[in-house]
Amino acid sequence: MAEDVKNTLIERIKSSSYYSIQLDETTDVADLANLMVYVRYEHDGAAQEDFLFCQPLETRTTAEHIFQLLDAFVQENGNGKSVLESAQMAQGL
């Protein structure tokens, strides 16, 4: 069921005219850092906001590592395209 929900969300994002992402670092009860990613997109004429994914972070995480986590998710779920390729396609470049 979780995979079906994820696939539905990704298809909605792909069919949207626009989308934006929000990244947040949070610490759980075990004092471990996690990257939380939310997405906002248009669906049925209204803005929607959903939780996209969560990934554990290393103790000392750099901006590059966070980008790599996001890029890996986009490539896995976006026809093999990177974050930058997806952004360029959205802008018509």
Determine the pLDDT at residue 2: 85
Write down the pTM of the prediction.
0.79
For residue range 46-85, list pLDDT tens digits in order. Answer: 999 999 999 999 877 888 889 899 989 988 887 666 666 6
Which of the 8 DSSP states describes residue 22?
E
**Mean pLDDT confidence for 37-52:** 94
Three-state SS at 56: strand
The mean pLDDT of the chain is 85
- The domain containing residue 63 runs over which residues? 2-90
Determine the pLDDT at residue 77: 86
| Rounded Cα distance, 54 and 67, in Å | 13
Number of domains in the chain: 1
Contacts of residue 82, Cβ cutoff 8 Å, sequence gap at least 6: 71, 74, 75
